[in-house]
Amino acid sequence: MVERKSDDLDLDAIFGALAHPTRRELIEQLASGPNRVSDLAEPHDMSLAAVSKHLQVLEEGGLVDVEKDGRVRRCHLDATPLSDAFGWLTRYRVFWEDRFDELEDHLEEADQ
Amino acid sequence: MVERKSDDLDLDAIFGALAHPTRRELIEQLASGPNRVSDLAEPHDMSLAAVSKHLQVLEEGGLVDVEKDGRVRRCHLDATPLSDAFGWLTRYRVFWEDRFDELEDHLEEADQ
């Protein structure tokens, strides 16, 4: 039987947060510095409510902190959870590197 | 306006596939070598149909190839799409490393 660990819950939330282009785009926008929800929403072809929902998913994944200042909500990127996702992927690095080496060998053989 | 690229569709499917503990566990199981669906299902507390559904999500993300040999379905890991996820995360590496450096500085100051 496979047991669920708390790390699993984090990785579910982190990978889940990254599984949408708008949320990856919001991370990219916040990499330039903190920004207001209304300014973050501006380049997206969706309602402010829809962008807020995506920001909430990022917040649940621990990737965004939302600071309230009166009616203004300012978002900050917290990239630290991404290191957990990166760490998980690193375990499989040898597998894709082996695959790329195989592909390269095939191409070299085809060229000869 | 943010345009959708085909890379986005891939990353959605890859990160989405990784956002569940059973699917990450299946990847870990397949890292030891190809295996039959029935054997892969064995350690999981769920029906064969539920495990097959998770394998289908992994297949859609390009992470698993399912080969049919009569009634037997054998799965192989294809880790190459993980390199795209890894590549995306790498862009933000500097952000979490900076954060860890800050935390370390704070701890050192607190120790003094």
What does the alpha-carbon distance between residue B81 and residue A106 come to, in Å, rounded to a whole number?
A: 19
Chain B residues close to A90, C-beta within 8 Å: 86
At CA A62, angle to CA B54 and CA A64, rounded to 5?
120
Q: Is pLDDT above 60 for A99? A: yes
Q: What is the mean pLDDT of residues A30-42?
A: 95
Residue in A closest to B2 by C-alpha: A44
Residue in B86, B95, B100 nearest the CB of A89: B86
What does the alpha-carbon distance between residue A19 and residue A11 come to, in Å, rounded to a whole number?
A: 12
Q: Is pLDDT above 70 for A94? A: yes
pLDDT at A101: 85
Q: Among A28-32, A97-101, B61-65, which stretch is predicted with the lowest mean pLDDT?
A: A97-101
At residue A111, the 3 state secondary structure works out as: helix
**DSSP letter (8 states) at residue B90:** H
Do B44 and B15 form a contact (C-beta atoms < 8 A)?
no
Q: What is the DSSP code string of A20-84?
A: SHHHHHHHHHHTT--EEHHHHHTTSSS-HHHHHHHHHHHHHTTSEEEEEETTEEEEEE--HHHHH
Q: What are B82-106's pLDDT values in tens digits?
A: 999 999 999 999 999 988 888 888 8
pLDDT-derived band at B1, boundaries 50, 70, 90:
very low
Complex ipTM tops 0.95: no
At residue A89, the 3 state secondary structure works out as: helix
Q: Among residues of chain B, what percentage have pLDDT more than 90?
A: 74
Chain A residues close to B22, C-beta within 8 Å: 2
Q: What is the mean pLDDT of residues B51-69?
A: 95
The size of the A-B interface in CB pairs under 8 A is 110
pLDDT-derived band at B15, boundaries 50, 70, 90:
very high
B7 part of contact set with chain A, CB < 8 Å: no
Pick among B96, B98, B103 to test the A interface (most A CBs inside 10 A): B96
Which class does domain B6-79 fall in? mainly alpha
CA B40 to chain A, closest CA, distance in angstroms equals 12
Q: What are A46-75's pLDDT values in tens digits?
A: 999 999 999 999 999 999 999 998 989 999
Residue in B1, B12, B93 nearest the CB of A21: B12
Q: Is pLDDT above 70 for A2? A: no
Q: What is the mean pLDDT of residues B4-14?
A: 80
pLDDT-derived band at B49, boundaries 50, 70, 90:
very high
